[in-house]
Amino acid sequence: MYRSISDRRSPSSCSSAPVAKDISTAEFPHRRSTTFRPKTAARYGQGNEFGHFGRVPSRGQLPFKVLRGHAGGINCCHFGFGDSRAVTCSEDRTAKIWDTETGRILKSFDDAHQNNIPECSVNSTGGRLLTVSWDKAMKLWDLETGKLLMCETHAWPLTCCDASRDGRLLATGTAMDRSLRLWDVNSGSLVVQRNDHHEGALTGCRFDCGAQRVVTSSCDRSFKVWDLATRVATLSVAGSHANVLSDCRFGAGGRLVATASWDRTLRLWDVRTGAFREDGPLELRGGHGGSVSSCAFSSDGSLLVSGGLDQRAVVWDTATGSRGVVLKGHVDWVMDVDVSVDKRWVLTASKDRTMRLWNIESMDRIPAAMGHESENAPRVLQCESCRKPLPATRRGAASAAVSRCSPCRSTTPGEVASVLRRHEAEPHRP
């Protein structure tokens, strides 16, 4: 028997909730290196670092920061408070709030749960933090005071959660009873309960930007879109991948759904027009050498970032499906990713107990390498008109439209020569 809603408050998981501690760690040491080499450092070292990531330093580098503070693998990461903060949760049963500028831990929710915390979520205003755990409890916290605002206990361990942008609704998903539940924060009441929502464990649940729909992913290889107004699943795509779905996200104002899978691919589904029914989804492949564990859209939907078992994060161009830069440096599974609102930073969380902040604003200055990757001699793709190296976001695109750089595509054939002269006159910027 499933525990009734009236019995959902459990003293074992909710009665002695801790209050977050205000703590701070050392700032980043003032040192730089041209490349970060994990083998030269302790696998699970202490302290924070920053440096530059880039295989070809003379053609562009991406600054990064390494943040340490968790005692176990980090399962989830999110930006908050206008990108000035980052939120993480971990196998160590804690959640932490970080200052993204200094790398300091501002608050630590120590022993927030009695078991692993697989996911957390923060609303767009950054005022509240939602955590779920294998201890069967869902908890809502005030990020400013660290106080527990809400605690609800499920019948089975929880696997995923999300908070709507306005903070009004919460969504949770479970494994054993494969349920989707939606909660009203103001009243604390359960507004939707869908047992057996999937045929397998839920791996992800996400609101759209207007909190009108929820997309869910599952081990049964399907994803579903649940409409809050009609209280029905308006879209159900079975066999959407060849293996387990690990994550799902709405993007581009709710027009797209991204799915990530253990089959090493991601797929983009136009759920507004339903064009995938005839043309199929846009498949993003060739970026990961193992299972893809997570994905996140940029705020405008133009970029998708993914993380995977191969210890990498990949930035994708959603318009073309082309692979951009590959972010390497973690020494274990990249569990989660996020993108800042201004698209300047990518956040990655790993089982190696570290979180990384990658500055991708200079990404377009790193040339794309085609074919098999080689650390010594990558083959660079060039614009067919001016011969300038194409940016990394055009990597792998097959259409003729992306065989020329942006300035050349916006000019007439007679103007290409002047564009070439202008490119040659530009000073080199490493």
Please report the pLDDT score of residue 176 as a whole number: 87
* Cβ–Cβ < 8 Å for 182, 227: no
pLDDT tens for the 430 residues of the chain, in order? 333 323 333 334 444 444 444 332 222 222 232 233 333 333 334 456 655 554 433 345 688 999 999 999 999 999 998 899 999 999 999 999 999 999 999 999 998 999 999 999 998 776 899 999 999 999 999 988 889 999 999 999 999 999 999 899 999 999 888 899 999 999 999 998 988 898 999 999 999 999 999 999 999 999 999 999 999 999 999 999 999 999 999 999 999 999 999 999 999 999 999 999 999 999 999 999 999 999 999 999 999 999 999 999 999 999 999 999 999 999 999 999 999 999 999 999 999 999 999 999 888 776 543 333 433 333 345 566 665 555 544 444 433 345 555 555 545 544 444 544 444 444 433 3
**How many whole angstroms from its chain centre is CA 94?**
19
Please report the pLDDT score of residue 367 as a whole number: 58
DSSP for 308-364 reads: ETTSEEEEEETTTTEEEEEEE--SS-EEEEEE-TTSSEEEEEETTSEEEEEE-TTGG
DSSP for 3-72 reads: PPGGG---HHHHTTPPPPEE---PPPPS---SS--GGGS-TT--S-EEEEE-SSGGG--EEEEEEE--SS
Please report the pLDDT score of residue 48 as a whole number: 61
> Collapsing DSSP states into helix, strand and coil, what is residue 398?
coil
Rg of the chain on CA atoms, in Å: 22
* Cβ–Cβ < 8 Å for 50, 27: no
Please report the pLDDT score of residue 123 as a whole number: 84
* DSSP state at residue 388: P
Domain architecture of the chain: domains with CATH:
5-369 (2.130.10.10), 382-425 (no CATH)
> Collapsing DSSP states into helix, strand and coil, what is residue 423?
helix
Please report the pLDDT score of residue 401 as a whole number: 41
